[in-house]
Amino acid sequence: MSNLIFRSLAAAEPGFALLDLIPDTHAWIKDTDGRFVYGNRLFFERFGFSSMQALLGKCDYDIAPEHLAVQYTGDDAFVLDGGVVNDRLELILGQGDTGDWFLTSKWPIYNPAQEILGTFGLSRHLNRTEGTAIPFRELRAPVDYISQNFASPISVEALASACNISVSALERRFRKHLSKTPRQYIVEVRLDNARQLLLDTDKPIGTIALETGFADHSHFTRAFTRHFGLSPRRARRV
């Protein structure tokens, strides 16, 4: 997506009004203080509000458990520094063997002078999109394997074997439900974990690169900058 440019956050809201017509998408806008200035119907109803007006002025700590609010505000700080969160797969488990899948993306909103006014987020509910729990069933095994082994070398062949499916079936599932390859998803998981280590620890960048499955510092830096839009060193200063 190209840069989102509006004169003000108020001017941005009408442009996103059509998102209320999309049944599988949550959308929101926050100002630089992390306060909501817009949320589409699915978003504010998800958090128990009867209208958008009731959401306005709230922050993540007002609507989400603390451990999730910490993650959300960390994302905001990253995006407010010019970073981008692209199609991060989020699995929220419910009772028994059920779960909700989300693909979440976040971007900075700029004014014409290229100053950041706030953040815009989209979260696509995969279960509702498909109408069933098919994505959950078909992706749980490979996603769990990647989450547990991302720091080690993972070939697509080894991943398919661990999940008892063929390489071609694995590739089809990822392309169908996530619009990306297993290899792309592995790299994104490594990058998300590396970003968290950058923010939460004082470990050297080279050490973080190796601990999250990258071959070396330079490979990690190139991948991180390409994915998030800023370097690991700059992300650490957020």
Summarize the confidence of residues 183-199 as an average pLDDT. 88
| pLDDT recorded at residue 128 | 56
- Find the range with the poorest average confidence among 27-41, 121-135, 188-202: 121-135
E-strand ranges in the chain read 4-5, 25-31, 36-39, 85-93, 99-110, 116-125
Which residues, including other chains, have CB under 8 Å from residue 99's CB and lie 6 or more apart? 91, 92, 93, 127, 133, 136, 140
Summarize the confidence of residues 103-107 as an average pLDDT. 89
User: What is the widest separation between alpha-carbon atoms in the chain?
Assistant: 53
| pLDDT recorded at residue 94 | 35
Q: What is the secondary structure of 85-124 as a DSSP string?
A: EEEEEEEEE-STT-EEEEEEEEEEEE-TTS-EEEEEEEEE
Interatomic CA distance for residues 21 and 24, integer angstroms: 9
| pLDDT recorded at residue 211 | 95
- Find the range with the poorest average confidence among 23-27, 117-121, 202-206: 23-27
> Is the pLDDT assigned to residue 227 strictly greater than 80?
yes
| pLDDT recorded at residue 96 | 38
CATH class of the 134-236 domain in this structure: mainly alpha
Summarize the confidence of residues 14-40 as an average pLDDT. 85
Summarize the confidence of residues 196-225 as an average pLDDT. 92
State pTM to two decimals.
0.61
Summarize the confidence of residues 216-225 as an average pLDDT. 94
Summarize the confidence of residues 146-164 as an average pLDDT. 94
Q: What confidence tier does 12 reach under pLDDT thresholds 50, 70, 90? A: confident
Summarize the confidence of residues 129-133 as an average pLDDT. 47
> Which CATH architecture does the domain made up of 4-130 adopt?
2-Layer Sandwich (3.30)
Name the residue ranges covered by the structural domains of the chain. Answer: 4-130, 134-236
> Is the pLDDT assigned to residue 8 strictly greater than 70?
yes
Which carries the bigger pLDDT value, residue 184 or residue 99? 184
> Is the pLDDT assigned to residue 109 strictly greater than 50?
yes
| pLDDT recorded at residue 29 | 94
